A and B are shown apart, each in its own frame.
Chain A
Amino acid sequence: MDTTQLLKGVLDLAVLAVLDQEDAYGYEILRRLREAGLEDVGDASVYGTLRRLFRAGHLTSYVVPSEEGPHRKYYAINPSGRHLLDISSKTWDTFAGTMHQLLTPEEVGA
């Protein structure tokens, strides 16, 4: 199954989860997502998602000057984003549980 299709639905949740641990800049977020196992996630998708969440008021951003290379724009989760993360992760849990039951029917009877 194509994971990029699945990613579309949960990328918001994944980005929020990463930022909930620690503030990060664009490429760092991508790297952490890939390290976590979401290897198919694209740079543009992360960047676009960040812009959308920022515009919707779920993130704040600040620029950190860098000694070598360009300035880095860090993103941080705010209360609105944390609230969204909370709701989304509950939805995900329910959904994942349902899918799991559906795919392993023998556990239902047990």
Chain B
Amino acid sequence: MTTTTTRTDGVAEYLEQVRRHLADLPDDERADLLEDLEDHLTELCAEFDDGLEAHLGTPERYAEELRASAGLADLAPRSRFGALADAVVASRPIVRLRHASRAVQDLPVYGRARHFADELRPGWWVLRGYLLALAAQVVTDAGEYSYPIPRFMGRRSLGLVMVAVAVYASIGLAHRGDRGRRWRLLAVAATVVALIAAVHAGSLIDDAAYQWSHSGGYVEYVYPSDGLYGVNGPITNIYPYTVDGERLENVLLYDQNGNPVEISPYGVSDTEYDLYRYEGGTPTTMGQPYYGYGDPPLTIDDRPVYNLFPLPTPEPFPTLPGD
């Protein structure tokens, strides 16, 4: 009686260990597989006089053999989510996409592009370090953003040190990427922060250009189709002379394409535009041509002529330097 109890205990223990080694299987699979294993093992016990392990090997090996022969080896660590992921990967569009990408990878151009991208990587690591230093100001200088040279504790010189450290860290991070998941995650995080900093810096560049153009810099809006510009600035009138110094009037001017050369008030800057004020059809400002808004002085075949020079103006012909 005692021996029988011991044997049955041996079965229970062995079965329990096998069960534990199959714990990762889905519940229903495991239950089905082990359904009559207890009966089976008890039966075996009756055949052998010495313990189960002497005949069957360790419970662990037994479990692995069971798993393999029952065709559950592939099923092993799959959760429901894992199974879904497998189904997606095996689905037709994804498979096609994979084939397509493999075809692209076979092209020689892909190899060259890949090689080129690889050569660019160290450059990106340096840039990433710099961008991280820019981003670090959010912490170190409470959002006081200095660009293009970052500040550290309010000082640009320390900011440069910070750039150097960040570049060193970024390169180090790139080389540790293959040391494990944690390093890779860190590298991805650094890249995300750097990209955000890049977008932010990009907007700062726009701001800087805008501020520059509205403060120190002088930007003139010129409409090339309207008006005339010379090296001395906008041209508001043309006075033709012959080489003998004789004034010419009523001269029609055309450009190289046969288009009439016209001077319109749009050809000059906003400030000068203000000079074109008319009261009752006559210009109030001396020296400015008075048409452009008003009626042209001349029409040819009922078409207005704006390229007749000099434009009518109260101002007399200028005195030439040679006179």
CA–CA, A26 and B66, complex, Å = 13
- If A48-B70, A52-B71 touch, whether A70 touches B43 (CB-CB below 8 Å) is yes
Query: Cβ of B56 and Cβ of A72 under 8 Å apart?
Result: no
Chain B count of residues within 8 A CB distance of the other chain: 25
Pick from B32, B40, B46, B61: contact of A47, CB under 8 Å: B40
Query: Cβ of A47 and Cβ of B47 under 8 Å apart?
Result: no
Query: Cβ of B70 and Cβ of A49 under 8 Å apart?
Result: yes
Q: Using a CB-CB cutoff of 8 Å, which residues 11-66 of chain A contact chain B?
A: 11, 25-27, 42-49, 51-52, 55
Enumerate chain A residues within 8 angstroms of B55, measured Cβ to Cβ: 43
Cβ of B62 under 8 Å from chain A: yes
Query: Cβ of A51 and Cβ of B33 under 8 Å apart?
Result: yes
Q: Using a CB-CB cutoff of 8 Å, which residues 12-60 of chain B contact chain A?
A: 32-33, 35-37, 39-40, 42-44, 46-47, 55-57
**Shortest beta-carbon distance, A12 to chain B, in Å?**
9
Enumerate chain B residues within 8 angstroms of A47, measured Cβ to Cβ: 37, 40, 66, 69
Enumerate chain B residues within 8 angstroms of A26, measured Cβ to Cβ: 40, 43
**Shortest beta-carbon distance, A51 to chain B, in Å?**
5
Q: Determine the interface band of chain A, counting residues with CB < 8 A from chain B.
A: 20 to 34
- If A69-B42, A70-B43, A72-B43 touch, whether A44 touches B65 (CB-CB below 8 Å) is yes
Q: Using a CB-CB cutoff of 8 Å, which residues 56-109 of chain B contact chain A?
A: 56-57, 61-63, 65-71
Total number of A-B contacts with CB less than 8 angstroms? 66
**Shortest beta-carbon distance, B46 to chain A, in Å?**
5
Enumerate chain B residues within 8 angstroms of A83, measured Cβ to Cβ: none
Query: Cβ of B46 and Cβ of A69 under 8 Å apart?
Result: yes
Pick from A8, A25, A44, A68: contact of B66, CB under 8 Å: A44
**Shortest beta-carbon distance, A26 to chain B, in Å?**
5
Enumerate chain A residues within 8 angstroms of B40, measured Cβ to Cβ: 26-27, 47, 73
- If A52-B69, A52-B70, A55-B32 touch, whether A44 touches B56 (CB-CB below 8 Å) is yes
- If A55-B32, A73-B36 touch, whether A45 touches B43 (CB-CB below 8 Å) is no
Cβ of A90 under 8 Å from chain B: no
**Shortest beta-carbon distance, A73 to chain B, in Å?**
5
CA–CA, A50 and B68, complex, Å = 12
Enumerate chain A residues within 8 angstroms of B68, measured Cβ to Cβ: 8, 45, 48
CA–CA, A55 and B170, complex, Å = 56
List chain A positions with a Cβ less than 8 A from chain B: 8, 11, 25-27, 42-49, 51-52, 55, 68-73
List chain B positions with a Cβ less than 8 A from chain A: 32-33, 35-37, 39-40, 42-44, 46-47, 55-57, 61-63, 65-71
Q: A26-B40, A26-B43, A70-B46 are in contact. List 10 more A-B contacts (CB 8 A).
A: A27-B40, A42-B57, A42-B62, A42-B65, A45-B65, A45-B68, A47-B66, A51-B70, A70-B43, A73-B36
Closest 4 CB pairs of A and B: A48-B69, A44-B65, A48-B70, A45-B69
* A-B CB contact pairs (8 Å), 5 listed: A42-B62, A44-B61, A52-B71, A69-B46, A73-B40
